[in-house]
Amino acid sequence: MYDTFSNKISPKVLMSLLLIKSKNNSQVEQQYEGFSLVEIVVVVLMIGILAASAAPNWIAFVNRQRASKTSDIVLAAIQEAQREAKRNKISYSVSFRNNNNLPQIVVYPKDSNPTDDTWKVKSQNLEIAPGQIVIGTNLTGNNQTTSATSVTYGSTTAQTITFDYSGALDISVKTKTDGLTSVQQNKLGYDSTTQKYKGLIIAVAVAKSGNPTQASNAKRCVIIKTLLGSITTDKDSNCS
């Protein structure tokens, strides 16, 4: 039939029909074609650029969240020691240290010695890897600091705060001349210039990249301001 039909039309018309058919087939095939290699490369490059610009901000946000959550744990531990001291009518201590580049906390009766297995890596539930978060204090001894002492990070030696049976800081007044004001000034870092107490600071910071014992500027802290054990929280430059 095709031969009969083609005999009835001129070669020129037949060629035109074949060209139209070929063009229509090409258009149908193009509808089902995928992306070209150039288009794929452009998209991949755009995704890479966007990811590279967003990644640092995302990492900084996550690290700040880790520091904030760890600081909440520090606050809870201090409050637990204070609460247990009042409930049991005996002095309770809370100690802090860094172990294998992870912050550790333990709450215990003052006269007991916490063993290694009682120290808890409280940050494990926060998915913190070693070297991400570092803990520090401005303590120069049990329940004491000075106005000139700043927070030191990365210590593996335990630093301790102790509360007495009333929930106040467990500090002895050795002589009758040592009034509450003078003891507080000597122990809580009173600055005569600003006429403010620095207080006992327990700070949590995002560790510097490549140096897990050094703190970056992203900090959170818990501060014990008075001998009676009043507690406040702060962040960043106020945690030094």
pLDDT score of 183: 72
Do 182 and 151 lie in one domain? The reply is yes
pLDDT for 6 equals 46
Helices (H) and strands (E) in the chain, counts: 4, 10
Distance CA 237, CA 151 (A): 11
Are both 8 and 117 inside the same structural domain? no
Statement to judge: residues 9 and 62 lie in one domain: no
Residue 224 has a pLDDT of 95
CA distance 113 to 128: 27
- The values of phi and psi at residue 210, to 5°, are 85, -5
Query: Is there a contact between 169 and 86 (Cβ–Cβ < 8 Å)?
Result: no
Domain count within the chain: 2
Residue 105 to residues 39, 77, 90, 160, 194: CA-CA distances in angstroms?
54, 8, 20, 10, 32
SS3 117: helix
Same domain, 29 and 47: no
Q: How much is the pTM?
A: 0.73
Give the list of residues 6+ apart from residue 132 with CB closer than 8 angstroms, or none. 63, 66, 206, 207, 212
Q: Are residues 58 and 159 in the same domain?
A: yes
pLDDT of residue 139: 95
pLDDT at residue number 119: 83
CATH code of the domain containing 181 = 3.55.40.10
Q: Do residues 185 and 211 both lie within one domain?
A: yes
Residues 122 and 102 in one domain: yes
Domain encompassing residue 21: 2-33
Identity of the residue numbered 145? T
Say yes or no: 28 and 49 in one domain: no
Residue 127, token pair as written in the block:
């998915």
pLDDT at position 194: 83
109 and 11 inside one domain: no
Pair 131, 86 in one domain: yes
Instruction: Spell out the per-residue pLDDT of the chain, length 240, in tens.
Output: 444 444 555 655 545 555 555 555 544 444 545 667 777 777 777 777 766 665 667 777 778 888 888 999 999 999 999 999 999 999 999 999 999 999 999 999 998 988 877 887 654 555 678 899 999 999 999 999 998 999 999 999 999 999 999 999 998 765 555 555 677 778 888 888 888 889 999 999 999 988 999 999 889 999 999 888 999 999 998 898
Classify residue 229 by burial, with Cβ atoms within 10 Å: 0-12, 13-18, 19+: buried
Domain co-membership, 20 together with 139? no
Identify whether residues 23 and 60 lie together within a single domain.
no
Q: Which two tokens stand for residue 106?
A: 């333990």
